Chain A
């Protein structure tokens, strides 16, 4: 995984609550067997008309935001299905950061596995960011967001932070604990399905 670096980008304001993963990536696109190429299907039913043409009034179709790396949204983002395809689609589309007052648990966890940083902020700061038009500076190392003359800090679990900053592979890290896993299995034998 690529190490997570500083971000300097405008925000895509996406003022919706309870955005579910069925909206982020509808089911007809879950049949691919690779991790790439999901960006073109992101928010498919909201982005495109039935004839496949882009909807003019949908924000992601506004060219002004085409290089934006930051999506700011409202509460309970990513609820519903566990499909990691939702994160793959957001990342492939160009979003490296999602900022919301709250995230659904599985979605939140899926973000970190794919180098996407989900940031939880209080509703007042979300409101400010949703209105902010210029570029903002986001630094994971110092856990700060600078916009205009303001600066806010955000919280993140230190281990998740390290893994993002260093682009570490979870499985490699876990395999370093292999002896402990083996001991656990020896000390309390697990019940095989096919005994």
Chain B
């Protein structure tokens, strides 16, 4: 019988399976951060339980951390309490923590792969929906709630109903592979299948247009699977995957043996059946800009803001959503995307703050200056990304152009730290969610790629970055 990659991973992690019941699935990697874990550790304490496998668990601090000078005391007491709570919990329960001053600190989904903790064929969880990022390595990686964090800590397993499978086949070749990025591919996919198109399914991204991408670009795609409603998205590992993970700090010692094993197993069998399938030709894809308040409300950069009726296509609920979105975003139908002025630019987040993202953005910025009406910042995804970028002199390029160059963390993607939009401010952001108030109450988010964000920072409004390179 043929099996998809997801089914192979699932089947090799079943601990208990009974007919018509959820299965008990073993978890190979559990990543923890400060926001969704305190109540889980409390639950363990109340019930006098231990962490079953501290050796499969690591923690970092990313959501709350200030991205300014970390030698200074934190101003926000509640953030500080949450961080101290995680430090204490890790100490009490014997969990390795990459703390605020650790060179390995960073956004949890960035450091997993970069440290070689993420492994092909494994099951990976974290109390964070963007855990799907790590599916780029051919892992079943998904976000969980705090109760499931507690359950994983106590048992190293989770009860799960087996998700269905959804093939996303990406064909063709991007016309300008520098200006049209993997961010544009995933935004185009979400635009077409919708924010709940993948609900109940695991996405497998396949096809030449996916193989063509670097590992960092693949992570951007898998990252936003959750924005299509899928708890997890994955890509079969190949030579690029194995090269990326080789010789990382926590790469397993018997790595070569493991790779041989993975090469024989970790792919969907020819002719394997998916429950759903969707094909996209990447040759047709332009740089994308979101205009609304969910990640399916997206336009080509050469397009215009749609009327709610055009967007909704006879669906009353969608028409109503689009009206509300346009009102919140203060945009009028038929406005050209490139005519929309911006106040802020945020290059960061688990979606687009890895080294390649910063390199590409710097390429656009080099020798230019941020528009005087725009405030722009770069927040590297991890301290290691920051260090590598600085070795390449990227910090200097950004600073010379009047970008702020910050310490790593989740930052303005969700604004739990002081990096937030003011009410009414309009931001070109490389993050993943354009929900109302996501980047600050009353703030207006437009999702774009790093090169689009960089070019827009210089111009002061959205531009078609293909004209710049």
Contact = CB atoms under 8 A, between A and B. Distances in A.
B66 to A, nearest CB: 14
Nearest to A81: B129
> Which among A74, A114, A190 has the highest number of chain B CB atoms within 10 Å?
A190
Contacts of A63: none
Contacts of A104: 196, 199, 229
Q: Is the interface of A mostly helix, strand, loop or mixed?
A: loop
B211 interface: no
Interface string B260-299: 0000000000000000000000000000000000100000
Interface string B41-67: 011000101000101111000011000
Contacts of B15: 177, 180-181, 184
A33 B36 CA distance: 9
Nearest to A184: B15
A34 B85 CA distance: 11
Contacts of B38: 33-34
Interface in A89-147: 102, 104-106, 109-110, 113-114
Nearest to B22: A159
Contacts of B195: 18, 76, 79
Interface in A176-195: 177-178, 180-181, 184-185, 188, 190-195
A174 B155 contact: yes
A191 to B, nearest CB: 5
Nearest to A158: B20
A149 interface: no
Contacts of A170: 147, 151, 159
Contacts of A114: 147
Contact of B145 (A31, A102, A106): A106
B416 to A, nearest CB: 5
Contact of A109 (B35, B119, B148, B435): B148
A102 B198 CA distance: 12
A158 B161 CA distance: 12
A106 B231 contact: yes
A195 to B, nearest CB: 6
Given A80-B433, A175-B155, A190 B253 contact: no
Interface stretch (B338-346, B436-444, B453-461): B436-444
Contacts, number: 184
Interface stretch (B23-31, B234-242, B364-372, B398-406): B23-31
A50 B229 contact: no
Nearest to A178: B155
A23 interface: yes
A84 interface: yes
B317 interface: yes
A76 B437 contact: no
A109 B145 contact: yes
Interface residues of B, number: 81
B214 interface: no
Interface string A57-88: 00000000000000000111001111111010
Contact of A191 (B64, B78, B252): B252
Contacts of B253: 195
A26 B443 CA distance: 13
Contact of A174 (B79, B129, B157): B157
Given A31-B416, A102-B196, A192-B55, A181 B156 contact: yes
A33 B155 CA distance: 22
B393 interface: no
A157 interface: yes
A42 to B, nearest CB: 14
Contact of B415 (A27, A33, A181, A192): A27
Contacts of A193: 29, 55-58, 96, 117, 250
B187 to A, nearest CB: 16
A171 B155 contact: yes
Interface in B61-77: 63-64, 76
A126 to B, nearest CB: 11
Contacts of B151: 170-171, 174
A22 B252 contact: no
Nearest to B433: A80
A82 B438 contact: no
B150 interface: yes
A174 B151 CA distance: 9
A76 B36 contact: no
B197 to A, nearest CB: 10
Given A31-B81, A82-B128, A191-B28, 15 more contacts: A17-B317, A18-B195, A22-B433, A33-B38, A35-B39, A50-B423, A114-B147, A159-B21, A171-B154, A184-B15, A185-B26, A190-B28, A190-B56, A193-B55, A193-B96
Interface of A: 17-18, 20, 22-23, 26-28, 30-35, 45, 50, 74-76, 79-85, 87, 102, 104-106, 109-110, 113-114, 157-159, 170-171, 174-175, 177-178, 180-181, 184-185, 188, 190-195
List the 7 closest pairs (A to B, CB-CB), nearest first. A113-B147, A84-B145, A33-B38, A110-B145, A31-B78, A82-B143, A192-B55
30 contacts: A18-B294, A20-B294, A22-B433, A27-B414, A27-B415, A33-B39, A33-B42, A45-B437, A76-B195, A80-B129, A80-B433, A80-B435, A82-B129, A83-B36, A85-B146, A102-B199, A106-B129, A106-B143, A106-B231, A110-B148, A158-B20, A170-B147, A171-B49, A174-B151, A177-B15, A177-B157, A178-B155, A190-B56, A193-B56, A194-B250
